[in-house]
Structure 1
């Protein structure tokens, strides 16, 4: 699946792409940034493996990804969101240059919480 949505053409044709976060100092893939084209913007989402959290990898990757999307003229509007209870992800987005825009109640169903509807905070990249 990763090979199918991580080609240079995947963003253009499928509207989504996954980029692997590689930590040079670790010599390993430590996480990923997912990019999804929406109507008028690009949304970026991220995940970092538990052993690599708290080291700044996600914030650096998000900032680089957002700047790349803007410089490559994919979009001037880069956004993201995170669960209202995910304080670590909120801090990561702020560190990466995103600003809080709004709270959206009941935005998604969390399968790991028996399908409970969850609220999110939305952010936009100020780049």
Structure 2
């Protein structure tokens, strides 16, 4: 999913998650599972989202998402609270994103090519039956 990015940080006893959807040009900040800020993301500018941490008294926080310069790049996401800045780590959305996909070497013979096609065809057929 090159169009979706998720960042997560546990800070001051709170779970802070940022979901950045490049295709819909939208970013959301969740604190403890609740949406606290939503903004449209400009194509070539830094996105700034403001919210509050649910503490007594409430504390202001700022989330800044940089614009990725290359389509395959992951934008940087920074959390600012109490005058301190924290780089929010990117978290994979799916198991496939956790490990980089390895390219399958090209088939050396027509028999290998046919065996790969047959394995894919069997896999698709078993998915339809389920």
- Is this a same-fold pair by TM over 0.5? no
How does the TM-score come out when normalised to structure 1?
0.30
How does the TM-score come out when normalised to structure 2?
0.29
- Larger helix share, 1 or 2: 1
Larger Rg, first or second structure (1 or 2) = 2
